[in-house]
Structure 1
Amino acid sequence: MANPNKQRGTAWESSVRDYLNAFLGLVDADGRFLSPMSGLNIRRAAQEGAKDVGDVHAFPLILECKDVRNPAVPTWIRQARIEAVHAGFPFGVVVAKVRGKGAALGRVHVDVRTWTRLRLALGMPTAEFRHLYGWTPSLRGLDTSRWYLTTTLRDLAHLLGDYRRNVSGVPDVAR
């Protein structure tokens, strides 16, 4: 892989995957899956054809991972939503690397609609959901399509675990 930007992006995707697998207890001390065929394992997606399916699959989330200097969060969020549809997953989110920090402190961005759908799936009031998972809003002008909420990958890992434990409708194939 000669392209340094591609190498950096691949390394970030792998870091996100490895962090989530370890946090959720899906791997042993050597990083091997405890249940290799489980649909709950976090995996980097192989790109197939013209329709991108996101960088990391963490059911029910598609993670679009970004390791760049200049953020374009609203554009990235639109990309994540489209890729979630292509992959057949309900939610698309962005995980942006923070320079000099580990994967746990990566910044997770979601649009207001995705945030609301996640909150409602967990049956939580707005204030509780915001506080429990560390969400902070970014309201950019009057155009609500540019509004989004941000948390850390660590807090998203908690949310992912809670979603998988508490939300009905998680496909049996993913259990």
Structure 2
Amino acid sequence: MRDYLNGSLGLVDAHGKFHDPMNGANVRRAAQEGARDVGDIHCAPFVLEAKNTASPAVPTWIRQAEIEAVHAGFPFGVVVRKVRGSSVTMGRVHVSVRTWTRMRLALGMPTAEFAALYGWSVSLRGLDTSRWYLTTTMRDFAHLVGDYRRNAPSGVSERAVR
């Protein structure tokens, strides 16, 4: 995931070496912090919680990712689940409805345009809205990260997109 995002965002050369190793935009694996875990991968402004399991627990994972994003000081926590037997581009990226809305507002996009441009699909799990989430592919998420970095107002803070 890290290598794919760095390549998609143009942060590495053909051999996978960073163009600028000190660039804060580089996607990196985070050091594990124990009780105050900061997620698996930092892809500013996103913290990615990586999962490779046979049985999904997406709403629980999303809550975990959002807590870890707060610990890391990032505005958005997302879950990336590997799809077995498929390339990393087909990995599934899951976000809460709240995070999806905050990303959309930060980019200043209408709901339908944001959903269509990045291939989001909705999972509604009963009447409990805390279990609802949206999903896209890693490929579409990489486009979102690039667009966010280019187009979101600089200095967009956690409070500004709530």
Q: TM-score range by the shorter chain?
A: over 0.9
> Helix, strand or coil: the match of 2:77?
strand
Q: Does 1:86 align with 2:71?
A: yes
**Per the alignment, in what secondary structure is the counterpart of residue 154 of structure 1?**
helix
Work out whether 1:46 is the aligned partner of 2:31: yes
Counterpart residue identity of residue 75, structure 1: T
| Residue number in structure 1 paired with 2:56 | 71
Structure 2: how far apart are the matches of 1:169 and 1:117? 15
Aligned to 1:109, the other structure's residue is in SS state strand
Unaligned runs of 5+ in 2: 157-162
Identity of aligned residues (%): 73
Instruction: Check if 1:36 corresponds to 2:21.
Output: yes
Q: C-alpha separation between the residues in 1 aligned to 2:97 and 2:126?
A: 14
- In structure 1, the partner of 2:100 is 115
SS where residue 95 of structure 1 aligns?
strand
- 2:36 counterpart SS class: coil
* CA distance in 2 between partners of 1:60 and 1:24 (Å): 13
Tell me the equivalent position of 2:137: 152
Q: Displacement, 1:48?
A: 2.5
**Matching of residue 27 in structure 1 with residue 12 in structure 2:** yes
TM-score (norm 2): 0.94
CA RMSD of aligned residues (A): 1.0
**1:57-110 deviations in Å (ceiling 9; x for gaps):** 000000000000010000000000000000000000000000100111000000
The separation in 2 between residues aligned to 1:65 and 1:24, in whole angstroms, is 19
Deviation at 1:47, TM superposition (A): 1.0
- Aligned AA (1:152): T
1:58 corresponding residue in structure 2: 43
CA distances 1:7-61 after superposition (whole Å, capped 9, x unpaired): xxxxxxxxx0000000111000110000100110000001124200000000000
Whether 1:95 aligns to 2:95 is no
- Count how many residue pairs are aligned between Structure 1 and Structure 2: 156
Q: Distance in 1 between matches of 2:155 and 2:54?
A: 36
CA deviation profile, 1:128-155 (whole Å, cap 9, x unmatched) = 0000000000000000000000000000
Q: Which amino acid in structure 2 is aligned with residue 38 of structure 1?
A: N
- The aligned counterpart of 2:124 is 139
Q: Deviations over 1:150-174 (max 9, x none)?
A: 0000000000000000112259xxx
The residue type equivalent to 1:114 in the other structure is: T
Where do 5+ consecutive residues of structure 1 fail to align?
A: 1-15
TM-score (norm 1): 0.87
Three-state SS of the structure 2 residue aligned to 1:50 is helix
Q: Runs of at least 4 residues of structure 1 off by over 4 A?
A: none
Distance 1:37 1:74 in 2: 35
